[in-house]
Amino acid sequence: MIDCLEKLGAEVRISAEDLFEVRGISNETIGCDLHLSCRESGVTINFLSGIASILPGNVILDGDSGLLGRPIGELVEGLRQLGVKVRYLGEKGYPPIEISSDAITGGTSVMAGSITSQYFSSLAIASVFSDSDTSILCDGDMLEKPYLDITLEMMGQFGVTAHHNQYREIRVQCGQKYKPAEIWIEGDYTSASYFLVGAAICGGTIEIHRLKSNSSQGDRLVIELLRDMGCDIDINDDVIRLQGRELRPIDCDLSDNPDLVPSLAVAASFCEGISYIRNIEHLRYKESDRITSMINGLNNMGVQAGCSSRDLVIFGNPHQIHGAEIRSYNDHRVAMSFAVAGLRVGGIVIDNEKCVEKSYPDFWIHFQKFYQ
């Protein structure tokens, strides 16, 4: 994301204290006719599709093989309805794409909500610059709703507002201006979930700091789910303390929390009984087909798992789980989740371990620190 933003004319400086200083794109720094590689990052190509729509010149958004297999057709149609010129450079419905538009006219755009809320976040961020007010409609139920909440909250911190009506319509008023701001990025519940699940399946204790207790992050749900599975959990001043206990199977809907599915699937495998993780069909369009990736990995460890309609079904059997070679499918969340399983049974060998750098570059360092 940073590489692409810098090519678009932004200046980003990172200090040793994890401080990011960003000088935004101005008329003087905007380039034109750019070819940007989003590598394997879906959120990068989705968000930059909106941003590229308001910049002059032609912008090609490309990526590595994994990204080129992820659908983007719904977002392209949403942009076109707002007056943006987009064309496919390969297979229709998939990257790479070329955007040759310097404005969003505004008006009404309709997109299906069945793949990702990132499409709606992208249009909401960019529609602030549209020529007229914008209404973004969701056809059907929107999946991953909390991520849209995070987007709108962050837009507010930078001085602009957008509102949704029960996630069916997002209204963005034109003429607003983003303003510089100093913000603090809270701890990430998704990244924390691997360590919480690790303590849960091992019957251990862990304390994690700087997780905002009233966060808009949907993945804070991991706290309630692990509590339902039998863990003791205390929360005090943004500090979470978990004590693992004998785990119970779970029946939960993770349609809004897809990033929790891999780690919760591993936790469910260590429960006696059948667990159901429901309404997760959109996981087939992530860095890998995560439903298949998880089923294959669990089966390799001796856990019976399968897909029933839109649900992942796991027959927990903690006493029969064994070490195995696990294919990550170049998917960071698959790799991190099965690493956690290795804490309990050992003998887990994961290929392409560096894929975790997509979202958590220090994962293996922290993993060793907490569980050596």
pLDDT of residue 27: 65
CATH tag, 189-371: 3.65.10.10
Pairing of strands 349-350, 325-326: parallel
Among the listed residues 256, 259, 311, 362, the single catalytic one is 259
For the chain, how are helix, strand and coil distributed in percent, rounded to 5?
Answer: 35, 20, 40
Sheet hosting strand 232-236, strand order edge to edge: 205-209, 239-243, 232-236
Q: What is the largest CA-CA distance in the chain?
A: 64
Burial 165-192 (b: 16+ CB within 10 A, else e): eebeebebbeebeeeeeeeeeeebbbbb
98 pLDDT above the threshold of 60: yes
Q: Are 261 and 305 in contact (CB under 8 A)?
A: no
Quick: pLDDT tens for 168-204: 999 999 999 999 999 999 999 999 999 999 999 999 9
pLDDT at 28 over 80: no
Q: Considering the entire predicted model, what is its pTM?
A: 0.91
Give whole-number Cα distances, 258 to 30, 63, 261, in Å: 35, 22, 6
Q: What is the dihedral of CA 143, 149, 151, 157, to 10 degrees?
A: 180
- What integer best gives the mean pLDDT of the chain? 94
The pLDDT of residue 30 is above 70: no
Q: DSSP assignment of 3-41, as one string? A: HHHHHTT-EEEE-TTS-EEEEPP-TTT---SEEEE-TT-
pLDDT higher than threshold 80 for residue 78: yes
Q: For residues 226 and 192, is the Cβ–Cβ distance under 8 A?
A: no
Fold of 2-172: UDP-n-acetylglucosamine1-carboxyvinyl-transferase; Chain (3.65.10)
Residue range 17-39: average pLDDT? Answer: 84
Does position 17 have pLDDT exceeding 90, yes or no? no
Residue 102, pLDDT score: 82
What local confidence, expressed as pLDDT, does residue 140 receive? 96
Q: Can you tell me the distance from the alpha carbon of 13 to that of 19, in angstroms, rounded to the nearest whole number? A: 8
Q: Where are the domains of the chain?
A: 2-172, 189-371
* Identical topology for domains 2-172 and 189-371: yes
* pLDDT single digits (tens) 268-305: 999 999 999 999 999 998 999 999 999 999 999 999 99
In sequence order, the 6+-apart residues with CB closer than 8 A to the CB of 341 are 201, 266, 269, 301, 321, 348
Task: Kindly give the pairing relationship between strand 34-37 and strand 59-62.
Answer: parallel
pLDDT beyond 80 at 329: yes
Check if 331 is active-site.
Answer: no
In this prediction, residues 253-259 reach a mean pLDDT of 96
pLDDT digits (tens, 9 = 90+) for 106-145: 999 999 999 999 999 999 999 999 999 999 999 999 999 9
pLDDT at 142: 96
Greater pLDDT, 77 or 26: 77
